[in-house]
Amino acid sequence: MAKFQPPLRLLLIGSPGSGKGTQSERIQKNFSVSHISSGDSLRKNVAQKSDIGLQAAAAMAKGNLVSDDLMTLLIKSELDQVNNANWLLDGFPRTIEQARILDSMLIKNMQPLNLVINLVVPEEVILGRIIDRWVHIPSGRVYNLSYNPPKVAGHDDVTGEPLSKRPDDNPDTFKVRIQNYHTLTAPLLEHYEKVMITLKGNTSDEIYPQIERELVNRFGMMPRRLETSS
């Protein structure tokens, strides 16, 4: 008899540019998992000039964090839309206060986080990545001019729409983002230590197979490319 498997409640944590978005895209491609990205969702709000976007834009441009209250509002509405399916969070929670709010939200309505993956990539590798990074704002798809270029320069592979450079992807703002990561987000590693694993690598190609192995071994999840052959 098949063993009961709880739905995946995954958090990807890691410094700016550690590949959370890229890994999320791959997980989504290979498994039935909804992706909630606080950064993607904020950038969409900024592009649409929504109330949330207007309130968040200045802090984001400087590399500072948006307030916990605003983030909670945003993520709550995203979580309401995915109900009880497998999901993964990328970019939220990012402070101890946000983690407490999320934990209590999940206890009331859903299963708590059951896996936290800490992505560790050397800082000098990351800086090179963000300088070359372009994004498709509506979908959050990420391209890199050196190792993952779009098929047509400056355009998204799927929709053909134009790509943008994130205003916070420059060396000065990156410094602020890294500092904020160390002071505000790194304490979460201890908060989630019971459900956390750390995966290291210089490239997302090195790290992704390790993530996949964890999802298969811990949750009995089957990558789509293998489903048809069994």
For 25-62, give the DSSP string.
Answer: HHHHHHSS-EEEEHHHHHHHHHHHT-HHHHHHHHHHHH
Work out how close the CB of 208 gets to ligand ATP at its nearest, in angstroms, rounded to a whole number: 15
Identified binder of Mg ion from the candidate list 14, 19, 21, 201, rule CB under 5 A: 21
Is 16 a residue that touches ligand ATP (CB under 6 A)? yes
Residue nearest to ligand ATP (CB): 39
Work out how close the CB of 61 gets to ligand ATP at its nearest, in angstroms, rounded to a whole number: 8
Is 39 a residue that touches Mg ion (CB under 5 A)? yes
Catalytic residues: 20, 94, 133, 166, 177
Length of the chain: 230
Q: Which stretch binds ligand ATP (CB under 6 A): 14-22, 144-152, 194-202, 213-221?
A: 14-22
* Partner whose binding site includes residue 60, from ligand ATP, Mg ion, none (CB under 5 to 8 Å by kind): ligand ATP
Q: Which stretch binds ligand ATP (CB under 6 A): 44-52, 78-86, 92-100, 150-158?
A: 92-100
Structure tokens given for 20: 């959370």
Buried b (16+ CB within 10 A) or exposed e, 155-189: bbeeeeeebeebebbeeebbeebbebbeebbeebe
CB within 8 Å of 74: residues ≥ 6 apart: 38, 41, 42, 45, 52
* Partner whose binding site includes residue 65, from ligand ATP, Mg ion, none (CB under 5 to 8 Å by kind): ligand ATP
Q: For residue 114, which amino acid is it?
A: N
Identified binder of ligand ATP from the candidate list 9, 20, 26, 141, rule CB under 6 A: 20
Residues that bind ligand ATP (CB under 6 A): 16-17, 20-21, 38-39, 42, 59-60, 63-66, 71, 91-92, 94, 98, 168, 177
